[in-house]
Amino acid sequence: MYLHVKKTLFFVLLFVTLAACGEIRFSQVTPGTETFHPDTICVLPVETDAFPDAKGVVGPLIADAVGKKGYFSGVVSPKDTRKLMENDDKLAKAMSDYLEKLKKVSFSDSDISKYIGKRCDTDAILVVEVDFWNYTTRGEDKLAKVGFSMELIEAQTGKIMWRAKHYDTEGYKWFKPDLADLANKVADKMISRMPH
């Protein structure tokens, strides 16, 4: 009897531990997401002013991670979006206005999102923010730390279908881990949870 309980407890703990490995720190879906199946997605340019070392790295990294999942038939990368903006002042202003409203008052303007979706020829918009991209310490431990916030928006309606936040750390003693490698793991884990 005691051995049976011990074995059962071991397998329950193992299952919980393995299940927790796939979790992210925060993930929230909007009711109605089960009928949301966008065909194409636009990854907006990622603001990295607070973390200059992430400049030019995060946008392509996120777009590649989204593309590798195979959820969408088309992925418009931040680089492609910037090219469109260079040739279209109205789109550039729309992007700026949209992101400012989203960041400052958490308002997804449906008129602007619809315009962005139409101009980029996509059904969904992915907004990514860099929360962490640095080396830090916790007590005596030296850590590499990378984290993102993501919002998936239905372009046609401006409805925020999914919000997520996740970060991860990797300890080191002498050689600093590559932050881009850690970022790939974080992005992959987050995008695995993204509705599609």
Query: What residues does 29 pair with on adjacent strands?
Result: 162
Query: What residues does 124 pair with on adjacent strands?
Result: 41, 154
Residue 189, both tokens? 């884990």
Mean pLDDT over residues 178-192, rounded? Answer: 97
pLDDT, tens digit (0-9, with 9 covering 90-100), for 51-91: 999 999 999 999 999 999 999 999 999 999 999 999 899 99
DSSP letters for 103-171: HHH----HHHHHHHHHHHT-SEEEEEEEEEEEEEEETTEEEEEEEEEEEEEETTT--EEEEEEEEEEEE
Helix, coil or strand: residue 176: coil
Report whether 46 contacts 129 (CB < 8 A): yes
Q: How confident is the model at residue 1 (pLDDT cuts 50, 70, 90)?
A: low
Residue 179, both tokens? 């932050």
Predicted confidence at residue 10, as pLDDT, reads: 40
Q: What angle do CA 75, 20, 25 make, to 5 degrees?
A: 60
Strands of the sheet containing 74-76, edge to edge, are 26-29, 160-172, 141-154, 124-138, 40-43, 74-76
Predicted confidence at residue 32, as pLDDT, reads: 82
pLDDT, tens digit (0-9, with 9 covering 90-100), for 94-144: 999 999 999 999 999 999 999 999 999 999 999 999 999 999 999 999 999
Report whether 183 contacts 61 (CB < 8 A): yes
